[in-house]
A and B are shown apart, each in its own frame.
Chain A
Amino acid sequence: MAAPMLRGRCLGRCWALACIDSGSRHGRGAATGFTSSGKRGQSFVAQQPLLTAQKSRKGEHKWAAVVGLEIHAQIASNSKLFSGSQVHFAAPPNSLVSFFDASLPGTLPVLNRRCVEAAVMTGLALNCHINKKSLFDRKHYFYADLPAGYQITQQRLPIAVNGSLAYSVCVGKKWRQVITKTVRIKQIQLEQDSGKSLHDELRSQTLIDLNRAGVGLLEVVLEPDMSCGEEAATAVRELQLILQALGTSQANMAEGQLRVDANISVHHPGEPLGVRTEVKNLNSARFLARAIDYEIQRQINELENGCEILNETRSFDYKLGFMPEPNLPPLLLYDTASLPAGADPQQVINIDRIREQLPELPSETREKLIQQYGILPEHSFALLNEVGLLEFFQNVIKETRAEPKKVTSWVLNIFLGFLKQRNLAVNESPVTPSVLAELLNLLDRKVISSAAAKQVFEELWRSKGKTPSQIVSERKLELMQDEEALERVCHAVMEGHPQVVMDMKRGNPRAINKLIGLVRKVTHNRADPTVIKEILEKQLSS
């Protein structure tokens, strides 16, 4: 629910604790018998240092953490959930507000078909059961950026239930072992977003922007099947990729299109679950993992010091409850079998039609990459993890003769490294896929060495507009094709370093590398190391 988490006096704290309440214990259902649910929705995390949470300081008892998530994703739609106002990020304040959004008396909600379709599509992609009948409720609370005094949500009977989300974590020494984990999805519900309050402390004013008020949200409730911040962050990341693939949400955390609340508790394995606390409004993946791990550690410290965990958010939860929304009839969905004869396609939603329109999901894309190019699973994750990277990669592949593995390595290590260093997105890169493809072709044809290729790549970054071939010829970076000349250089280097030659003859295997290095230096990296090695070995044995 999009209830603003912190009201009044506890601003600035990222979690809140409230009175102990047996109702706030995690109700973990049947111990998760889920293993991989197959291809749908796997994700990847490159490191899994299982937390400090697993061990107490004294090492007497092990602690286990239990993490559940409530995720709010803004639906990518032209207009709001119940009104015709447009949806835009960063529009001038209060410029996208209909009479309904401002809760003018007498206005009524009219459900946006696009939002319903987005919810159904997301539910299907997350293996949910789609309820053919769902209901809307009012959730009451007084807050300045909630003009009606209630939020329309789906508390009693949400649109989708009982799904699952698979994500992958990498373990093992080199993190080469990919383990697929599954988190159950309790429900997906449609609800309204709230407006925004801006507090002007200086003039003690609160300014209200209602542009966001009434934007459609998908609330996705993940069961407490996760055990640390990294798992939670990975699950969220996978969900984000799925939403983006579906186009049901832009899911940009920085723009608040994806917001996460976490419920956290710790307990000793085999004992009842602990009292949970809530960490709310997390809007960056990195912060999400850190905040959860911090809270887990804090709870462990508290308990080990003999203190109790208190759940403070509860005390701010107005005890006012829900009420059926009387202005919206039940939302009815159909499948091809139940579609009423002669129904106006504009007036009904057919679940089967939406199922047919499901695009390829990230897990399927990764599987294809592995099959098609023979790349490693972790590389398939990495390619999907960056917006636009997969497309970039595929475009390079199309235009180059270089091996897919070579392309993968260049894209993931060198190209991505450059982007990260400069804090750029893929679409901001000055190096286009065709330019990189040309460079890799030069490398593949052994026109240049890989060291030279890296040099060219750096140059491409600096001098926009030049082709790799131009740079190679300007800088004279071609590999020496004249073997006799290279033989002369090798000979001269050996002459100049009799001590290294002696070492080599005594059987020191490192010595030859030193000579190779020296030859390359003389040739300004223009000689192919394998050729140098052959020449050196030939000259030594002669």
Chain B
Amino acid sequence: MLGRTLQEVSAALKQGQITPVELCQKCLSLIKKTKFLNAYITISEEVALKQAEESEKRYKKGHSLGALDGIPVAVKDNFSTSGIETTCASNMLKGYVPPYNATVVQRLLDQGAVLMGKTNLDEFAMGSGSTDGVFGPVKNPWSYSKQYREKRKQKPHGENEDSNWLITGGSSGGSAAAVSAFTCFAALGSDTGGSTRNPAAHCGIVGFKPSYGLVSRHGLIPLVNSMDVPGILTRCVDDAATVLGVLAGHDPKDSTTIQDPGKPFMLSSLTDVSKLCIGIPKEYLVPELSSEVRSFWSKAANLFESEGAKVIEVSLPHTSYSIVCYHVLCTSEVASNMARFDGLEYGHRCDIDVSTEAMYAATRREGFNDVVRGRILAGNFFLLKENYANYFIKAQKVRRLIANDFVNVFNSGVDVLLTPTTLSEAVPYLEFIKEDNRTRSAQDDIFTQAVNMAGLPARQPEQPGRQVVEHVVETVPGDVKNAQKQ
């Protein structure tokens, strides 16, 4: 039952093959069994069971709320959840219990979804491995798969099994692992530079990043406000569409959400791709790309072509500036957004009370890890009056050029871009931590993050090989507008 898709289990609930409480209990017990994955920071067992009971009552009365009623879901621990601790995997917010729900959380609950818990991440979503949170790294469920074990056996030097697990990617690694390990049927992630698509790729599930402005950010603890988007992780594309249908739409609490009421998301079964024009950006063919990913990429392209789609090479000429541009904009917004964590109103506060300034300094030193502090420091440097024009303004201009690259390609008749999500398949933890967070983020966001700059939607679909990604560009009105927003 747990291995089914959201749509399948929803049907099972409706038909009474299983009750919401039974389903919830099954998930809870699997969550406990897979605790070693470290996917969850908080397991909201009591809340989940209560919600499941409510759902069960509705089903008994025949008044179920829809496709999500009684469906176990998980939420990344940077979305505010009323009455449930929300930590961002940081000492700064340990023990912080928000008094309100993020809009996306509320919308899930309003549809009867059952919240299993809050999932692990890199501290404040800053990372690409889910290895840099205060609660420790997340382990990729595929590390324990038959395929992976057999593959490893072929290697000559027998490594220690326990230490050679794979990373999930990040920063929404907890959500990806939770869905991949069948502990829930959908999870919320966040995507600022690829944080939903990257772990989805590494964990073999669907990761969807909606257009900027399509889904409310209210209650999402921000990394980069102008790029953050709540992401959706599921085990199949139709499930992602179902969840998106619930989340999408204007939110009066988020002024950057689009006003258009929008249409419900119904995916037609796509049998005819002959009218599609698929672009392959040549700049994405970088030397660092692993041969495996490269071959999957061309395999996918060939598949489309053989079905009648037009596949052409396109150019996104400013791609190579994307990472450095992102670095300036991201750290600047981080410096600004993190200023509120001063230990006064909520969160961690140090014991030092000699002066307000000393209290701030010690609180922030104790509360943030090196990655967060490093980004704040860099961001404050870029925001200094004398540096602002040289860095921030220039980065904004480059961002516009990057966004225009996409606009130009789509204006030229391309419907969809097909690109890799990651350079290679998931690597072992011990391998991953040989490089620091900044280097890893720069490497791993290379294919994903330009899309955030442009505000475009992107999707990492489930694939057996896991490394092929298509970036779907929907016909959502306002995409281009949003892309030009900055």
Contacts and interface: CB of A to CB of B under 8 A. Distances in A.
A445 to B, nearest CB: 66
A103 B254 CA distance: 15
Contacts of B435: none
A108 B336 contact: no
A116 to B, nearest CB: 13
A481 B429 CA distance: 114
Contacts of B218: 106-108
Given A140-B336, A140-B383, A323-B333, A104 B98 contact: yes
A16 interface: no
Contacts, number: 100
Contacts of B79: 106
B265 interface: no
Given A106-B102, A110-B252, A110-B253, A323 B340 contact: no
Interface residues of A, number: 31
Main SS class of interface, B: loop
Given A144-B356, A321-B384, A329-B485, A104 B346 contact: yes
Interface string B42-85: 00000000000000000000000000000000000001100000
B214 interface: no
B140 interface: no
Interface string A185-212: 0000000000000000000001010000
B156 interface: no
Contacts of A106: 79-80, 98, 102, 217-222
B356 A105 contact: no
B380 interface: yes
A206 B356 contact: yes
Interface string B259-273: 100000000000000
Contact of B385 (A108, A144, A321): A321
A230 to B, nearest CB: 36
Given A111-B255, A140-B339, A321-B388, A147 B345 contact: yes
Interface string A318-344: 011111001111000000000000000
Contact of B336 (A102, A104, A150, A328): A150
A105 B80 contact: yes
Contacts of A104: 80, 98-100, 345-346
B7 to A, nearest CB: 30
Contacts of B383: 140, 320-321, 323
Given A148-B339, A319-B384, A319-B385, A142 B100 contact: no
B256 A99 contact: no
Interface string B450-486: 0000000000000000000000000000000000010
B360 interface: yes
A142 B386 CA distance: 19
A108 B217 contact: yes
A327 B222 CA distance: 10
A105 B342 contact: no
B332 interface: yes
Contacts of B175: none
Interface in A265-314: none
Given A110-B252, A327-B255, A147 B336 contact: no
A109 B255 contact: yes
A323 B226 CA distance: 12
Nearest to B344: A144
Contacts of B485: 329
Nearest to A208: B344
Contacts of A417: none
B386 A149 contact: no
B455 to A, nearest CB: 12
Contacts of A109: 255
Contact of B339 (A142, A319, A328): A142
B404 interface: no
Contacts of B360: 142
B392 interface: yes
A138 interface: yes
Interface string A73-117: 000000000000000000000000001001111111111000000
B98 A320 contact: no
B111 interface: no
- Interface centre among B333, B356, B384, by most A CB within 10 Å? B356
B39 interface: no
Main SS class of interface, A: loop
Given A106-B220, A108-B218, A108-B255, A323 B342 contact: no
Interface string A232-249: 000000000000000000
B93 interface: yes
B221 A329 contact: no
Contacts of B93: 105
A451 B135 CA distance: 89
B225 interface: yes
A329 B254 CA distance: 10
Contacts of B380: 320
A319 B380 CA distance: 10
Contact of B384 (A148, A150, A320): A320
A181 B88 CA distance: 58
Interface string A345-372: 0010000000000000000000000000
A108 to B, nearest CB: 5
Nearest to A149: B339
A147 B345 CA distance: 8
Contacts of B224: 326
B171 to A, nearest CB: 16
Interface in A132-173: 138, 140, 142, 144, 147-150
A110 B339 contact: no
Interface string B202-244: 0000000000000001111110111000000000000000000
B255 A105 contact: no
Contacts of A138: 336
A510 B380 CA distance: 84
A322 B387 CA distance: 11
A347 B342 CA distance: 36
Given A110-B252, A328-B255, A329-B256, A323 B220 contact: no
A329 B80 contact: no
B392 A323 contact: yes
Contacts of A107: 218-219
Nearest to B386: A319
Contacts of B339: 140, 142, 148-150
Nearest to B387: A321
Contacts of B102: 106
Nearest to B93: A105
Contacts of A329: 255-256, 485
Nearest to B360: A142
A108 B386 contact: no
Nearest to B332: A323
Nearest to B485: A329
- Interface centre among A208, A320, A326, A347, by most B CB within 10 Å? A326
B222 A105 contact: yes
A187 B340 CA distance: 29
Contacts of A319: 384-386
Given A149-B339, A323-B333, 18 more contacts: A104-B99, A105-B341, A106-B80, A106-B219, A106-B222, A140-B383, A142-B360, A147-B342, A148-B340, A149-B340, A149-B342, A150-B339, A321-B383, A323-B383, A323-B392, A326-B225, A327-B254, A347-B259
19 contacts: A104-B80, A104-B98, A104-B100, A105-B340, A106-B219, A106-B221, A107-B219, A108-B255, A142-B360, A144-B344, A144-B356, A147-B340, A147-B342, A320-B380, A321-B384, A323-B336, A323-B383, A327-B225, A329-B256
Interface of A: 99, 102-111, 138, 140, 142, 144, 147-150, 206, 208, 319-323, 326-329, 347
4 closest Cβ contacts across the A-B interface? A149-B339, A326-B225, A326-B226, A105-B221
Interface of B: 79-80, 88, 93, 98-100, 102, 217-222, 224-226, 252-256, 259, 332-333, 336, 338-342, 344-346, 356-357, 360, 380, 383-386, 388, 392, 485
